[in-house]
Copies of this chain bind each other. A is one copy, B any other.
Amino acid sequence: MGGSEAGDDSKDSKPKGNRGISFLDFIMRIVAILGTLGSAIAMGTTNETLPSFEQFIRFKAEYKNLPTFTFFVVANGIVSAYLAVSLVLSILHIVMSGARITRVVLIFFDTVMMAFLTSGASAAAAIVYLAHKGNARANWIAICQQYNSFCDRASGSLVGSFIGVFVFLLLIILSALALSRN
């Protein structure tokens, strides 16, 4: 089924297309590192203390108060660390663009990390949504009415994480494409 225009299958074959793909892979990993690290820092450093006349609920809102946000910070931290380490393999693929096994290994870890990041981002998104809208049926109040700036930071921090998920999707496809052309 097509796609095998580079007919040779010697180990050191370096089809130009795959080198381009490997370079794109490297650039996109940098983008994903910025996204996930930014998300971890944005969520990890946000906090808001309400003025004392607010008697209804009084607390210093930070990510540690919500286990889901803690999970989000940890997931983004681990994924950005993984991405930094994976740059080594990415560089290796630029040099040895005919590599196969290491690409399969990379697809495996990329897929695991994508699932982990998607999990953290979606769980946090569910809680952010609840914080904004509340849920009348469950008597869960929209805490964003009190904690505006905390909620804004928490919502904003989701963006980098979802960019990371999208980049992982592209990375996995690029690796599969490179494999199919080897």
Residues of A within 8 A of B (CB): 1-4, 7, 9, 11, 57, 59, 61, 65-68, 96, 98-104, 107-108, 111-112, 114-115, 118-127, 129-131, 133, 135, 137-141, 143, 165, 169, 172-173, 175-177, 179-180, 182
24 CB contacts below 8 A, A to B, read A1-B11, A1-B99, A2-B100, A4-B100, A57-B139, A65-B137, A66-B135, A100-B180, A101-B180, A107-B172, A108-B173, A111-B114, A111-B169, A114-B114, A115-B118, A118-B122, A122-B122, A122-B126, A124-B126, A138-B143, A140-B141, A172-B172, A179-B179, A179-B180
| Protomer copies | 2
